[in-house]
Amino acid sequence: MAHDEFSLIRQWTRRSDGQEGDGLTVGIGDDAAVFTPTPAMEVVACCDAMVETVHFLKETMNPSDIGYKSVISNISDIAAMGGVPRYALVSIAVSPSWSAEMTSQIYDGIHEACKAYGVRLIGGDTVSAPDALQLSVTVLGEVEKGRAIRRSQAKAGQVVFVTGYVGCSAAGLHLLLQLKGTGETIPARYRQLVREHQRPSAQVNAGRILQAVRGNGALNDISDGLASELWEIAEASQAVLSIDASLIPIREDLRFYAERAGRDPLDWVFYGGEDYQLVGTADAEHVGALQEQFAAAGIPFAVIGRVDAREGQSAVACTRGGRQMPLPKAGFNHFGRPE
Amino acid sequence: MAHDEFSLIRQWTRRSDGQEGDGLTVGIGDDAAVFTPTPAMEVVACCDAMVETVHFLKETMNPSDIGYKSVISNISDIAAMGGVPRYALVSIAVSPSWSAEMTSQIYDGIHEACKAYGVRLIGGDTVSAPDALQLSVTVLGEVEKGRAIRRSQAKAGQVVFVTGYVGCSAAGLHLLLQLKGTGETIPARYRQLVREHQRPSAQVNAGRILQAVRGNGALNDISDGLASELWEIAEASQAVLSIDASLIPIREDLRFYAERAGRDPLDWVFYGGEDYQLVGTADAEHVGALQEQFAAAGIPFAVIGRVDAREGQSAVACTRGGRQMPLPKAGFNHFGRPE
């Protein structure tokens, strides 16, 4: 892009949510941002990249969705630590096929996601790229000292749970790819599936409930499909997770769409991705309290298995209707390319 | 890259400098990193991206240089706030033309830079890209509460100073582009110029000296050429900076190379970039103390002008040998492409 367009973009980044005050000493526009951490809290930091043609296509995501989702995927990582997201830094590399107008819409989405989750955009970089547009987002959050929930904390005897509904984002993407180039609109009954793909939610409230329960176990956000996330917990915790697939809640629209598409909804549940729900483990004695608190917060919470200890083993075992179901750990593969 | 190569890369990122302890509660390998901020310090955060063909070419930077420089450019932003760099998050998008071996070397450079500046790599993301390799680095640092040095703090009566030698990186790049494809090696007398381009230093110690002096003024790091940085200070501070170009120290090898190349070294000083020196303003009464402390630290420090106040004006005025020299604010343009 031309230099004046870059100046425009720099202006877009300096909207009201980056204003100073409330702990932010220096906002966007200097060499770096400066903020005062909240006393007795630790800082939680994560960073995720999204690349055109690898993580999204212009045909499956509009610019504001791309911006929105790039922030959500990072807020989700903060949620998976039990933290509260506070600040975001966004680096964007824009290629010539993206107009200033489209780039402005990406920032619209970034600002929308920030606003929805109480996050302030405090910095970043805007550069040009020769080909694919890329977004790299860092989100900084806070968590009570010593209370971050790690994926290595699964212990034998705990239950395995999942929040919300999984698999919907991948089904939404499947539908978008089916419709790509046909000019057809999205049937009303599937709009929510598509929305889960384009405008996902991060489970900050769920993470905060889990963080507040003493003695809780492991936690991961589901960015790469449930199988991959379960394996990560199993390996980090050196534990065996035994899952009963029939306990995983399947949303009605997902079930319906899968049937029409001739697919098993569990394929998308286990090997889809970008659901940004949480999967974790909890002490059995806390499950009642957790169920109550999740119900009060309006967040689905389902026990889907248990943690077993087998000497020196890290694995995920899965049954379905009483039969063993192999569950390799392969993750999400957006558009059929080798990762 | 294939999945097993990605696993390799994930291993490279988990080297010893990311280990937990000394304030780091959760290092690389979970959804997010967690650290305890130092009491009475604020957190300083910045983010910079580097894109193949826009910021570097395979022919001008070897992989470890690319990794090294991507970290330095961010540490430099922390230095320009007067802060101490502490943690880094690196997101890298690797295209098929980069082998696992080359990508590993990028991480070598990242780790070298982190080690040289006491920074720990605490997170990031490794994804694939269709075409150009991209690196986006976030560095988090700390600065004494209320003591961050802003670029908006230039005040009439202050002097303008610059640390070190400017223009060398751009001259080094000029030479590299001249030699590209010729098979010729770099003449020994220019090796330091090339090194300034490929393995620049960040002026953390200079920033710390300036931060410790009460009543100091504005500060910027020189990433886009001295003219652009001076203009940023002038505009952020609503001040007029009057520069005497003959006071800017020119290193002997730069002067020599410029003469051979038929160029004015000031072109590279003002419109080169990536020197990562600091330019700023300071109260005249502090200059003596600053000169002593910089001399003791072995860092060149030169007064190159003063800050004037003219009602409602933001500008950079420059003279050279008593004559006015126009100094537009255009910045660095790596390979002749429009930014």
pLDDT tens-digit readout, A43-52: 999 999 999 9
Q: Do B172 and B126 lie in a common domain?
A: no
For chain A, positions 252-291, list CB contacts with chain B under 8 A: none
Q: How confident is residue B1, by pLDDT bands cut at 50, 70 and 90? A: very low
Q: Do B138 and B51 lie in a common domain?
A: yes
Q: How confident is residue B339, by pLDDT bands cut at 50, 70 and 90? A: very low
B97–chain A Cβ distance below 8 A for any pair: no
A93–chain B Cβ distance below 8 A for any pair: yes
Mean pLDDT: which of A246-260, A322-336, B325-339 is highest? A246-260
Kindly report which listed range (A330-339, B122-131, B167-176) carries the lowest average pLDDT score: A330-339
Q: Do A176 and A36 lie in a common domain?
A: no
Q: Do B114 and B175 lie in a common domain?
A: no
How many residues can be counted in chain B?
339
Cβ A148–B77 below 8 Å, yes or no?
no
List the single residue in B with minimal CA-CA distance to A338: B2
The answer as to whether B331 is a domain residue is no
pLDDT at B338 exceeding the cut of 50 = no
User: Distance (Å) from the C-alpha of residue B167 to the closest C-alpha of chain A?
Assistant: 20
B145–chain A Cβ distance below 8 A for any pair: yes
pLDDT tens-digit readout, A226-270: 999 999 999 999 999 999 999 999 999 999 999 999 999 999 999
Chain A residue numbers with beta carbons less than 8 Å from the beta carbon of B54 are 93, 127-130
User: Distance (Å) from the C-alpha of residue B208 to the closest C-alpha of chain A?
Assistant: 15
The answer as to whether B339 is a domain residue is no
pLDDT tens-digit readout, B110-159: 999 999 999 999 999 999 999 999 999 999 999 999 999 999 999 999 99
Cβ A338–B3 below 8 Å, yes or no?
yes
Residue pairs spanning A and B at CB distance below 8 A:
234
pLDDT tens-digit readout, A136-179: 999 999 999 999 999 999 999 999 999 999 999 999 999 999 99
Q: Do B127 and B49 lie in a common domain?
A: yes
Domain boundary among B87, B114, B144: B144
Cβ A138–B55 below 8 Å, yes or no?
no
- Write out the residue range of the structural domain in which residue A296 sits: 159-324
The answer as to whether B335 is a domain residue is no
Q: How confident is residue B239, by pLDDT bands cut at 50, 70 and 90? A: very high
B17 appears as a binding residue in the annotation = no
B112 appears as a binding residue in the annotation = no
Q: Do A138 and A163 lie in a common domain?
A: no
For chain B, positions 300-319, list CB contacts with chain A under 8 A: none
A245–chain B Cβ distance below 8 A for any pair: no
Chain B residue numbers with beta carbons less than 8 Å from the beta carbon of A151 are 30-31
List the single residue in A with minimal CA-CA distance to B34: A44
A228 appears as a binding residue in the annotation = no
Cβ B31–A220 below 8 Å, yes or no?
yes
Question: What ipTM, to 2 d.p.?
Answer: 0.92
Contacts 24+ apart (CB under 8 A), B191-197: B192/B168, B192/B253, B193/B168, B193/B169, B193/B253, B193/B254, B193/B257, B196/B168, B196/B169, B196/B172, B196/B275, B197/B60, B197/B61, B197/B168, B197/B169, B197/B170, B197/B172, B197/B173, B197/B274
Chain B residue numbers with beta carbons less than 8 Å from the beta carbon of A122 are 45
Cβ B89–A47 below 8 Å, yes or no?
yes
Average pLDDT on B302-308 reads 97
Cβ B134–A131 below 8 Å, yes or no?
no
Among A24, A58, A136, A151, the residue to mutate for chain B (most B Cβ within 10 A): A136
One-letter amino acid at B43 equals V
List the single residue in A with minimal CA-CA distance to B219: A31
The answer as to whether A336 is a domain residue is no
Angle in degrees, CA A330, A333, A336, rounded to 5: 120
Kindly report which listed range (A183-192, B211-220, B255-264) carries the lowest average pLDDT score: B211-220
B223 appears as a binding residue in the annotation = yes
Domain boundary among B144, B175, B191: B144
What does the radius of gyration of chain B's CA atoms come to, in whole angstroms? 20
Q: Do B318 and B214 lie in a common domain?
A: yes
Cβ B337–A42 below 8 Å, yes or no?
no
A32–chain B Cβ distance below 8 A for any pair: yes
Q: Do B135 and B168 lie in a common domain?
A: no
Q: Do B205 and B113 lie in a common domain?
A: no
Q: Do B122 and B197 lie in a common domain?
A: no
Domain boundary among A116, A144, A172: A144
A156–chain B Cβ distance below 8 A for any pair: no
Q: How far apart are CA A141 and CA A35, in angstroms?
A: 12
The answer as to whether B200 is a domain residue is yes
- Total tally of structural domains belonging to chain A: 2
Chain B residue numbers with beta carbons less than 8 Å from the beta carbon of A147 are none
Residue owning tokens 């209370």: A147
Q: How confident is residue A10, by pLDDT bands cut at 50, 70 and 90? A: low
- What are the residues facing B307 on neighbouring strands? B241
- The string of DSSP letters for B63-113 reads HHHHHHHHHHHHHHHHHTTT-EEEEEEEEEEE-TTS-HHHHHHHHHHHHHH
pLDDT tens-digit readout, B64-93: 999 999 999 999 999 999 999 999 999 999
The answer as to whether A140 is a domain residue is yes
| Nearest Cα residue to B238 out of B218, B220, B221, B222 | B218
A31, A92, A128 member nearest B46 (Cβ): A31
Cβ A51–B81 below 8 Å, yes or no?
no
The answer as to whether B332 is a domain residue is no
Where helices occur in chain A by DSSP H, the ranges are: 3-13, 63-79, 100-116, 168-179, 191-198, 204-212, 226-237, 252-261, 265-271, 287-297
Q: How confident is residue A337, by pLDDT bands cut at 50, 70 and 90? A: very low
User: Distance (Å) from the C-alpha of residue B30 to the closest C-alpha of chain A?
Assistant: 7
CB A132 within 8 A of CB A63: no
Cβ B338–A91 below 8 Å, yes or no?
no
Residue B121, domain CATH: 3.30.1330.10
B123–chain A Cβ distance below 8 A for any pair: yes
Q: Do B183 and B317 lie in a common domain?
A: yes
The answer as to whether A331 is a domain residue is no
pLDDT > 70 in chain B, percent? 92
A48 appears as a binding residue in the annotation = yes
Mean pLDDT (chain A, rounded): 92
Q: How far apart are CA B282 and CA B25, in angstroms?
A: 39
Cβ A49–B91 below 8 Å, yes or no?
yes
Q: Do B183 and B314 lie in a common domain?
A: yes
Residue B275, domain CATH: 3.90.650.10
Average pLDDT on A90-103 reads 95
Mean pLDDT (chain B, rounded): 92
Cβ B127–A89 below 8 Å, yes or no?
no
Chain B residue numbers with beta carbons less than 8 Å from the beta carbon of A55 are 127
